[in-house]
Amino acid sequence: MEEYKNFWAVVELADGKPKGVGFELLNPGKQLATQKGEKVVAVIIGKNAGAVAAQAISYGAGEVIVVEQENLSEYSTDGYTYALEKLVQKYKPAALLVGATNNGLDLAPRLAARLNTGVAADCTGLSLDEGGNVVWTRLSFNGKIKAEAVCRNFRPQIGTVRPGVFKRTEPDTALKGNVIKENIDLPANLIRTRLVEKIAPETSETVDLETAEIIVTGGRGLGKAENFSIIRELAGALGATVGASRSAVDSGWISHDHQVGQTGKTVQPQLYIACGVSGAIQHLAGMSGSHNVVAINTDAEAAIFKITDYGVVGDLTKVVPELTKVVKEIKEKNQ
Amino acid sequence: MKIIVCVKQIPDPEQFVAKINPETKTLIRAGFPGVINSFDGYALEMAVRLKESVEGSTVSVLAMSTPDAKSMLQICLSVGADKAFLVTGPSGSDTMGTSLILARAIRKIEEEDGPFDAIFCGRQTTDGYTGFVGPALAERLALPQVTFVTDISAQEQLLQAKRENNNGFEIIEVAAPALFTVTKTDYEPRFPTVRSRLASLKAPVHNLDLAGLGVDADTVGLKGAKVEVVSVSEPEQKRAGVIITVEDPGEAAAQLGKLLNEKNLV
């Protein structure tokens, strides 16, 4: 067990560009590593990995392991699991932090099963216990239950972290770190899936709810698709991302990539404004990590008001446009 | 195409109040009506649609649960599944233990029913919320996996899945046998008909004995959990809740704007 050292942050690439969560992981990774007198290491696999190494160092990586080769240029479960298995066997890290993106959630449990170790989900806090094990903190059931878990008897420890939970540090180009280039010898026919085609998101607007700082969500109370324009205007004034409840999506008013909740996205913005959202438990499950919640609803008894910091009982089609005006005024004054 | 869908019974989220057993530090699920995990419902519907598109296909369902999951499995039989299996697992299994039991159960079923071409799971459960069982199960069965699938089609033994990724999609091709985890689809699961529901009440659910699966009891259940829960608590709810009830929308918006501005949220 003692031979397992250093904290790895897996930095995922999408079309050669790093996903932000990878750099976010370097922050808590570095804190844990410093406590133990060890290193935080960024592991970057894929097209353009070498070029991203310097960026990882500026966000705090003391070392970067880079794998850049043709048969691992795009993510595949088989290829990346194999590559990480070999890297873990060679370098024996104490822990791996993996961003809870779709690819991260594809990889982490598969790798844990392969390495016969444990994997913790959705960590919102990381610390070390007396034995030097990582204590993975997780909030579940609308934040009602906080659980702490450790993986005592198996290495490496693996945990997934949602985008936006940790903040990346300010990049510092004066930071130094060494870059190790690795080549993984993949057995023939190892990769059993074939990426036929990538389909870009249908809408031109980017729906990055998971990392959004402000979200304005429309629910059933909107009444019709056209009323989403009211939501979009407020979102525009705030620089916010547009979210939707399941019933708004199911009514065909907006596409599913906007959906917040149990069968949609899980979000943790600084400010969440729920307009005409009743607050079904499935919706709360997706947004209870929000730091500040505002609700606008005609029904004073709506469940959403139980978890709001600020609520307005009123007709959203009247209140929201007024709020958009107020926000614009405040923004002008604050400038 | 021979398909098996892994389904989980979870406490009805509409009624569930999360409480912890202080000794085992696991959720108390008893006392709440059990329903199928919503993503497993989508997985079952996708499997049944695949079955309907390829002649001679069958769909089995498998749950690891307490004996009362029989009725959930019978509901699965009423919406297109042909055969149901229940393995009564030790409580407290983590995702690694659960995937091990499911893998052994599938191998056991295959001894009699022949090999499966496709294994479906929901992308995650809405009580445990990890999404780890599907990929871990694929690893234990040494199968390729495609996760976050929203649609699937088959041509002979070649399966083509539409996978959600980075707010867009990927089309991924894989030869059977393979494992798929299913996310929310564009369609909703079907409802049973009166006739299919009545028939399912008499349909058998095959019980699999854990001992007969050759699972080492030390590797599963609470004892075998690789990630050990060391503490659970119920953090204080922080919401103070200022509710504005003035009737004039302009005035309400002004009050709200002022509050948000004071907290630097605008």
Give the per-residue pLDDT at A103: 97
The residue assigned the tokens 């209870």 is A288
Query: Is B7 domain-assigned?
Result: yes
Query: Is B131 domain-assigned?
Result: yes
* CA angle (B32 as vertex; B27, B33 as ends), nearest 5: 130
Inspect the interface and report whether the beta carbons of B144 and A114 lie closer than 8 Å: no
Give the per-residue pLDDT at A142: 62
Sheet holding A193-199, edge to edge: A193-199, B168-175, B158-165, B145-155, B178-182, B118-122, B2-7, B58-65, B83-88, B206-208
Give the ranges where chain B is alpha helix by DSSP (H).
38-53, 70-78, 95-113, 133-140, 194-202, 221-224, 249-262
- Residues in chain B with CB shorter than 8 Å from the CB of A309 are 239-242
pLDDT above 90 for A205 = no
The residue assigned the tokens 């055969």 is B83
Categorize the per-residue pLDDT at A89 as very low, low, confident or very high, splitting at 50, 70 and 90. Answer: very high
Categorize the per-residue pLDDT at A143 as very low, low, confident or very high, splitting at 50, 70 and 90. Answer: low
And the tokens for B14?
Answer: 């509409």
B158 in contact with chain A, both atoms CB, cutoff 8 A: no
The beta-carbon neighbor of A198 closest among B39, B170, B263 is: B170
**B34-36 and B9-11 as β-strands: parallel, antiparallel, unpaired?**
antiparallel
Domains and CATH numbers, chain A: 7-182 (3.40.50.620), 209-334 (3.40.50.1220)
B146 in contact with chain A, both atoms CB, cutoff 8 A: yes
Categorize the per-residue pLDDT at B21 as very low, low, confident or very high, splitting at 50, 70 and 90. Answer: confident
Over residues A172-192, the mean pLDDT reads 97
ipTM for the complex?
A: 0.91
For A134, list phi and psi in degrees, rounded to 5.
-75, 130
**B158-165 and B168-175 as β-strands: parallel, antiparallel, unpaired?**
antiparallel
* Percent residues over pLDDT 90 in chain A: 79
Give tens-digit pLDDT for B147-161: 999 999 999 999 999
pLDDT above 60 for A226 = yes
pLDDT above 90 for B176 = yes
pLDDT above 80 for A59 = yes
Give the per-residue pLDDT at B108: 97
Cα–Cα distance list, A204 to A93, B18, B97 (Å) = 41, 40, 43
A128 in contact with chain B, both atoms CB, cutoff 8 A: no
Categorize the per-residue pLDDT at A274 as very low, low, confident or very high, splitting at 50, 70 and 90. Answer: very high
Over residues A11-23, the mean pLDDT reads 94
Query: Is B237 domain-assigned?
Result: no
CATH number at residue B13: 3.40.50.620
Give the per-residue pLDDT at A210: 85
Query: Is B246 domain-assigned?
Result: no
pLDDT above 60 for A95 = yes
pLDDT above 70 for A132 = yes
Categorize the per-residue pLDDT at B237 as very low, low, confident or very high, splitting at 50, 70 and 90. Answer: low
Query: Is B251 domain-assigned?
Result: no
Give the ranges where chain A is alpha helix by DSSP (H).
20-36, 49-58, 77-91, 102-115, 228-238, 246-250, 281-287, 316-334
Query: Is B87 domain-assigned?
Result: yes
- Residues in chain A with CB shorter than 8 Å from the CB of B178 are 192
Inspect the interface and report whether the beta carbons of A117 and B126 lie closer than 8 Å: no
What's the rounded Cα separation, in Å, for the pair A4 and A2? 5
Give the per-residue pLDDT at B238: 59
The beta-carbon neighbor of B235 closest among A121, A143, A292 is: A143
- Residues in chain B with CB shorter than 8 Å from the CB of A195 are 170-172
Give A274→chain B minimum CA distance, Å: 13
Categorize the per-residue pLDDT at B41 as very low, low, confident or very high, splitting at 50, 70 and 90. Answer: very high
Over residues B72-77, the mean pLDDT reads 97
Q: What is the average pLDDT score of chain A?
A: 93
Interface mutation target, options A117, A233, A319, chain B, most CBs of B under 10 Å: A319
SS (H, E, C) B224-253: HCCCEEEEEECCCCCCCCEEECCCCHHHHH
Cα–Cα distance list, B114 to B2, B3, B58, B69 (Å) = 9, 11, 12, 25
Give the per-residue pLDDT at B17: 76
Give A271→chain B minimum CA distance, Å: 7
The beta-carbon neighbor of A195 closest among B130, B172, B184 is: B172
And the tokens for A87?
Answer: 């890297």
Give A325→chain B minimum CA distance, Å: 9
pLDDT above 70 for B239 = no
- Residues in chain B with CB shorter than 8 Å from the CB of A125 are none
pLDDT above 80 for B167 = no
**Which amino acid makes up residue B112?**
E
pLDDT above 70 for A73 = yes
How many domains is chain B partitioned into structurally? Answer: 1
Give the per-residue pLDDT at A329: 94
pLDDT above 70 for A204 = no
Q: A255, A250, A225: which is closest to B188 by C-alpha?
A: A250
Q: Could you count the other beta carbons within 10 Å of the beta carbon of residue B237? A: 13
* Percent residues over pLDDT 90 in chain B: 72
- First CA to last CA distance, chain B: 55
Cα–Cα distance list, B14 to A52, A295, B11, B122, B210 (Å) = 45, 21, 9, 19, 31
Categorize the per-residue pLDDT at A288 as very low, low, confident or very high, splitting at 50, 70 and 90. Answer: confident
Over residues B204-232, the mean pLDDT reads 89
Over residues A14-23, the mean pLDDT reads 93
Q: Which range (A33-37, A225-229, B89-93, B189-193) has the least confidence?
A: B89-93
Query: Is B259 domain-assigned?
Result: no
Over residues B185-210, the mean pLDDT reads 95
The beta-carbon neighbor of B244 closest among A129, A306, A311 is: A311
Give B225→chain A minimum CA distance, Å: 8
Query: Is B25 domain-assigned?
Result: yes
Give A176→chain B minimum CA distance, Å: 31
- Which structural domain range is residue B40 located in? 2-224
And the tokens for B20?
Answer: 């912890």
Give the per-residue pLDDT at A207: 76
pLDDT above 70 for A201 = yes
Cα–Cα distance list, A69 to A74, A182, A184, B50 (Å) = 10, 9, 8, 36
